[in-house]
A and B are shown apart, each in its own frame.
Chain A
Amino acid sequence: MILALLVLALVGLALAGPLLAPVISRKRAERAAKRGSGDLPELAFYDPGRERRAELRARELLRSCVNDEEWGMYRDLGFIRVAGRHARRDADRGQAAVYAYLVYPHKPIVAYLPGTGRLLSEYCVEFPDMSGATGSRLPASDDVLAKWMALTSDEDRVISRANMHLVGRQLDPARVRRDLWRLAEWERRRPRRGELSSGTQ
């Protein structure tokens, strides 16, 4: 009998929850208002899975935008290579890219010469929250996609907005060289699809 009453009470509470919640939150708001502005603001509910879900969605979005080679590069190596669009001469257009970029998540873009592996410069660029909120940034894969879209659509604009430094300011040149070696090994193991060119990046 007691057990049945307890179950009934629990069911009643569960059913009344949605009705009571607005009343309780209104009362809390009124109490907070009465206490004045000296109180600490209520902490926003933190969802520990939000960032992970955002990153999973970002990966899918990136995958749907870049080609198979670029996606495989990002999946396996953690960065994407984007060919530079400018050629030394008009006659060189359509040939292998003179320079290229390595696009890392939340790190500077690195320009280098594919022919020699020489590192040219690093471009520090970020995509800040336009709402003015601080402390939030794009998921890693969205950051890569934003850089990829900016470089492939309007390279000059994004490069002109970036802060340019010699490689070594934020990125370890030895690590970048190691990434270039990893990239070369990765490409060697993949079915060959042709040279890196501005037309088939």
Chain B
Amino acid sequence: MKPGHGEVLLAEGDPLMREDEERLVEEFRRQLDEGMWAAVPTTEPGSGRREAQMVKQYGEIPPGAERVIFFPRASGG
């Protein structure tokens, strides 16, 4: 999510492919270095409950996650 623009596709690829994964890791780190927060929307299998999971490292992304959403850090308004 980018202020003034909304949703912007940063990178996409198959994390099982080495080249793609390197690109995804690089973009992930770049976003976090810029101060963004990263979250993965999840659905609990049993209850269907929707929530987000904050991830601070690429390795924390749940397997099978379709997307990671980066958004600006919250601050007091």
Most chain A Cβ neighbours within 10 Å, of B6, B36, B72: B6
A138 to B54, CA, bound (A): 19
**Do A127 and B54 form a contact, CB below 8 Å, given A54-B5, A57-B7?**
no
The residue on B at minimum CB distance from A124 is B77
Consensus secondary structure, chain B interface: strand
The reply on B11 being an interface residue by CB < 8 A is: no
Interface residue ranges of B1-25 to A (CB < 8 Å): 1-7
Partner of B72, one of A67, A124, A129, A139: A129
Partner of A138, one of B3, B48, B51, B73: B3
Partner of A200, one of B49, B69, B74: B49
The reply on A98 being an interface residue by CB < 8 A is: no
The number of residues on chain B lying at the interface, defined by a beta carbon within 8 Å of a beta carbon of chain A, is: 29
Determine whether the beta carbon of A150 is less than 8 Å from that of B6. Answer: no
Residues in B with CB closer than 8 Å to A130 are 34-36, 72-73
Determine whether the beta carbon of B72 is less than 8 Å from that of A54. Answer: no
Determine whether the beta carbon of A67 is less than 8 Å from that of B49. Answer: yes
Q: Which 9 A-B pairs have the closest CB atoms?
A: A54-B6, A136-B4, A149-B52, A124-B77, A152-B51, A126-B77, A163-B76, A127-B72, A129-B3
